[in-house]
Chain A
Amino acid sequence: MTTTPRPKLVTALLLAPAGLFFVFLLLAPLAVVLLFSFGERAPAGGYVPAFTLQNYMDLPARGKAFFNTLTLAPFGTLLTALFAFPMAYFLAVKTSPGWRVALLILVMAPFWTSQLLRYYAWMMILGNKGIPGWLATLGIADVRIINTPWAVLIGAVYGFLPLMVPPIYVSLEKLDKRLLEASADLGATPIRTFLQVTLPLALPGVATGSMLVFILLMGDYILPQFLGGGKVFFIGNALVDLFLQSRNWPFGAAVSVALVAIMFVTIYVYMRFVLSKSGTRRAALV
C-alpha cells in the first residue's frame, strides 16, 4: 500500500500544539533556569544577571540532599519494582481474566485519595503510636521508623506501586506463553525459565515503570517532608528552601540544573542497558 505524502502545512499544524507546549513549557523554562544558574543573588534575594560559576562550586554545600536523593531514589525504585513484580506476575499469569480488572482497580485505588492524606495516614502508622507502639507492647521497645530513611522507602513503595504494577503487568500479559513451553521443552527448570525468558522479556515493562517512579522520586519533596520529617531531605526539599526561604535563586537554579543533568544521564545509561538485555526493538518499549 502506498500513502500519499501529507502536505507540509498539515504536518506543521498537527505538530503545533505539542511543539508549542514543548517549547514554551519545557525548553523555555529550562533555558531560564540555566541562565539563572550563572547569575548572582540580589541582596534582598532573587536574581541579578551575572556570569559566575560560583553557584556550581557551592553545590557540595547541599551534598546531603544530593546524597539522600541519589541513594534513596534508586533504592526506593528498586524496592518498588521488587514488590510490584510479583503482583503484576500474579495478575497477568495466575489470575483468571474475570478477576484481573477488579484486582488491577484495587492496585490503583490508593490514587483516588489525596497524596497528602495518604502520607498523613502513614505518619500515624509509622509514628511512635503506630507500629513502634504495638511492637513496644510485644516487648520490642525503642523502634524508630518515622523520620528515618526506612520511612521514606516505605512511603515510596506504597505511593508508587500503582505506577509500577501496570507497565510490568502489560509486558507479562503479552508474553507469548509458548516461549515458556519452548524453554521447558529444551530442559529448563521452571526457575530457569523464569530467569532466562520471563524476566528478560518483562524487562521493558520494569524499565518503563522504574523510569516513572525514579523520575517522580528524584523530584519528590512531599514524601521526604512528611515521612522524613526534615531529617531525611531530598533535593526537592533543598529547592523549596533555596527558592522560598533563603531566596537564593541562582544557587537554587544551579541545584536544579545538576538534578536534571543527573536524571538525564542516569535514564540514558539505564535505558541503554535495558534495551541491550531485553533485545526488544526500540518501538516495542513504549
Chain B
Amino acid sequence: MSDTSSVIEFRKVTKRFGDVVAVAGNDLAVRAGEFMSILGPSGCGKTTSLRMMAGFEQPSSGEVFIRGENVTGVPAYRRPVNMVFQHYALFPHLSVADNVSYGLRQRNPKPSKAEIDRAVDGALAMVRLEGYGKRRSYELSGGQQQRVALARALINRPAVLLLDEPLAALDRKLRRDMQIELQNLQRDVGITFLLVTHDQEEALSMSGRVCVMREGRIVQTGSPRELYDQPVNRYVADFVGKTNFFAGPSPAEVLSIRPEQIEIATSLSALPEGLMARLPVRVLNRIFLGEHTEYVVVSEKLGEFMVMAPRKSERDAGVYDIGDMIAAGWRAEAERILPNT
C-alpha cells in the first residue's frame, strides 16, 4: 500500500516519446494539503509529469498513485484531479457559469439544478467573480479568465489541483497579485496544489516545497529555503536564486557564494572583522534595484563576480561608482562547495 499522507505518488515513472526520454524513472510524492511546485527549464519533463498525473499521458513504465490507489492506465476523465491549463482552455461556446459547472454536470447522478447553481455561485465568489456567470469567457480579461479556470477546477474539490504555468500568460503586475491570491486560495480551500513553472521566483515565493527537475530527472526536492541554502549541486544553486561560482578544490567541484553574502567597503581596512576572504576589487557595473544595489566587481585573483549590497550598508558607506577601487570579502560560512553538475 502507498503512504496515505501522499495524495499523488510517482513510483519509478518513466515517459518516452520515441527515442526521447521526457521523464526518467522519477519517484515523487505530493503530500496532502501542501502547495508544491515542480521547477525546471522548458523541456525538463515537468509538464509531461503533470500530464501523467492528470491522465493525458500514460507512463512508459512505472506507476502513478492517487490517494493510495494505483491509477496507472486510468484515463483522465476517471481521475479525481483537475487542471488549470496554461492558456486556461475555457469553453468558448459556454457562459462562465456553464464553464464552472461543467465538472458537476458530468457526475453520475447529476446534482440538481439548485445544487449546481449554489455551487457555481460559491465558486465564483471564491475567485471574486460574483455576477460574472452570464458572461462569455472571451469577454473577460486574462486575469478574470484565469480565475474562471480556477473556479472551474476547484468546484469539483479535486484530490490535487494541477496548475500548468498558470501565470505565464499574465503581465508582471497581475502575476504578483495572482501569486498572492493563489496562496490565499490554497490556504482557504485546503486542497493540495501542484504547480509547474519555469519561473524560480514564482516557485520559491508560493510553494511550501519545490521539486527541481533537469532533463527528465528530479535533482532536488525541498523547501525553498533548503534549496537556496543547501543546494545539492551547481545546477540547483544556479537555478534557484543568483550565485557566484569560483573554481573549487577539485575539477569536479565548484565554490558557490551568494551575492548578498559578500560584503563590500571603501577599502580592505574598512571591511568588518572576521572575514575569511578579503580582496581588492574594481567596480565594473552597478544596477539599482530599489532596496538593493547589484554590483559587478572584478578581482585580479578571482575574476568577475556579483555583489548584492543592501541599501542600509550603502547609507553607511555611500554608493560606489563604476571604476572605483574598493574591497570585498566574505565569511567562511558563505562558501559552499558543490558538485560541478
Contacts and interface: CB of A to CB of B under 8 A. Distances in A.
B89 A179 contact: yes
Contact of A279 (B94, B102, B103): B94
A178 B152 CA distance: 15
B106 A187 contact: yes
A181 interface: yes
A277 B75 CA distance: 29
A200 B92 CA distance: 10
A148 interface: no
Contacts of B55: 184-185
Interface string B100-141: 001100110000000000000000000000000000101000
A190 B55 CA distance: 13
Contacts of B156: 186-187
A178 B106 contact: no
A183 interface: yes
Interface string A149-185: 0000000000000000000000000001011011111
Contact of A178 (B81, B85, B93, B103): B85
A185 B91 contact: no
A107 interface: no
Contact of A188 (B54, B82, B89, B106): B106
Given A187-B103, A189-B77, A192-B106, A182 B93 contact: no
A182 B107 contact: no
A183 to B, nearest CB: 7
B76 interface: yes
A137 to B, nearest CB: 48
Interface residues of A, number: 24
Given A178-B87, A181-B56, A186 B93 contact: no
B83 interface: yes
Interface string B156-197: 100000000000000000000000000000000000000000
B75, B90, B103, B138 — most chain A CB neighbours (10 Å): B103
A94 interface: no
A278 B76 contact: no
A282 interface: no
Given A181-B85, A190-B77, 18 more contacts: A178-B87, A178-B89, A181-B83, A182-B90, A185-B54, A185-B77, A185-B81, A187-B107, A187-B156, A188-B102, A189-B106, A196-B102, A277-B93, A278-B93, A279-B93, A279-B136, A280-B93, A281-B138
Interface of A: 176, 178-179, 181-190, 192-193, 196-197, 200-201, 277-281
25 contacts: A178-B85, A178-B87, A178-B89, A179-B89, A179-B91, A179-B92, A183-B91, A184-B75, A185-B54, A185-B77, A185-B82, A186-B77, A186-B152, A187-B78, A187-B103, A188-B77, A189-B77, A190-B77, A201-B92, A278-B93, A279-B92, A279-B93, A279-B94, A280-B92, A280-B93
